[in-house]
């Protein structure tokens, strides 16, 4: 009996027949862990409101929304499992969408994976939510990409100061990068959750040129604020 083929890392939940753009969501995970995430895991569920908000806002305008499915729960050091899955998903998606741009939206470990995979030719921009940005993380792949990081000022899991340092290095590497503080919010994005959903959705739309960037995002990118 032949072995079953590996399952696809790409899941499209709101799919336009011929998309003008794609938004892929990447949920959080653990520093270490090689077990397969269960279908209904909490980090994945946390991203569902973002997927629904983006789909409602832009689905009728030709934007497909999907997610990256991980093989492992953890990042796992030099294996960088989540980033490898993100790249596999982008490779699988590319022949289906042609020149349509992709925006990656990731939380915590998912943001780290999105930033790492952003050098893929399909990627236009990354929105990182409470991102995990270790000191010394590579940034050269972000050249000519948009990078917007949203980080709660009460996050006790990932460090907003590391996000600020990452944005500075990404900008020096040629990215258009900015950091927006989320006042009163922690890592799980539960406090002020509607603000996270709304700002992320509007930011995605601005990065895809489907509307103006939110004022706070435009200011963080040193761009002209929306009128």
- What is the three-state SS of 154-216? CCCCCCHHHHHHHHHHHHHCCCEEEEEEECCCCCCCCCCHHHHHHHHHHHHHHHCCCCCCCHH
pLDDT computed for residue 6 by the predictor: 65
Give the domain CATH number at 204: 3.40.50.1820
Does residue 5 lie within any of the structural domains? Answer: no
The range of the structural domain enclosing residue 176 comes to: 10-220
pLDDT computed for residue 5 by the predictor: 52
Does residue 61 lie within any of the structural domains? Answer: yes
Number of separate domains in the chain: 1
Instruction: Quote the DSSP letter at residue 30.
Output: B
Does residue 2 lie within any of the structural domains? Answer: no
Instruction: Give the separation between CA 101 and CA 185, rounded to whole angstroms.
Output: 30
pLDDT computed for residue 224 by the predictor: 39
Q: How remote is the C-alpha of 130 from its chain's centroid? A: 10
pTM summary value: 0.94
Strands 102-107 and 21-26: parallel
Q: Name every residue whose Cβ is closer than 8 Å to that of residue 34 and which is 6 or more positions away in sequence.
A: 72, 73, 74, 76, 81
Q: Report mean pLDDT in 10-residue bins for the chain, 227 residues.
A: 64 81 97 86 92 96 95 94 96 94 98 98 98 97 98 97 98 98 96 97 98 97 53
Look at residue 56 and give its three-state secondary structure.
helix
């Amino acid at each position: 009996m032949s072995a079953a083929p590996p399952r696809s890392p790409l899941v499209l939940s709101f799919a336009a027949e011929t998309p003008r753009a794609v938004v892929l969501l990447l949920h959080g995970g653990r520093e270490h862990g090689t077990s397969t995430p269960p279908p209904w895991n909490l980090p994945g569920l946390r991203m569902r409101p973002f997927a629904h908000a983006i789909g409602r806002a832009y689905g009728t305008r030709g934007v497909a929304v999907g997610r990256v499915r991980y093989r492992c729960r953890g990042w796992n050091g030099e294996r960088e499992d989540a980033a490898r899955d993100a790249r596999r998903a982008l490779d699988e998606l590319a022949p289906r969408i042609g020149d349509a741009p992709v925006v990656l939206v990731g939380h915590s470990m998912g943001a780290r994976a999105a930033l790492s995979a952003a050098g893929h030719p399909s990627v236009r921009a990354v929105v990182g939510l409470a991102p995990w940005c270790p000191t010394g993380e590579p940034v050269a792949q972000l050249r000519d990409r948009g990078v917007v990081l949203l980080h709660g000022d009460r996050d006790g899991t990932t460090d907003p100061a590391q996000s600020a340092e990452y944005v500075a290095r990404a900008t020096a590497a040629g990215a258009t990068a900015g950091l927006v503080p989320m006042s009163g919010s922690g890592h799980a994005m539960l406090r002020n959750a509607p603000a996270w959903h709304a700002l992320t959705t509007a930011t995605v739309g601005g990065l895809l040129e489907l509307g103006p960037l939110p004022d706070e995002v435009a200011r963080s990118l040193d761009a002209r604020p929306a009128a």
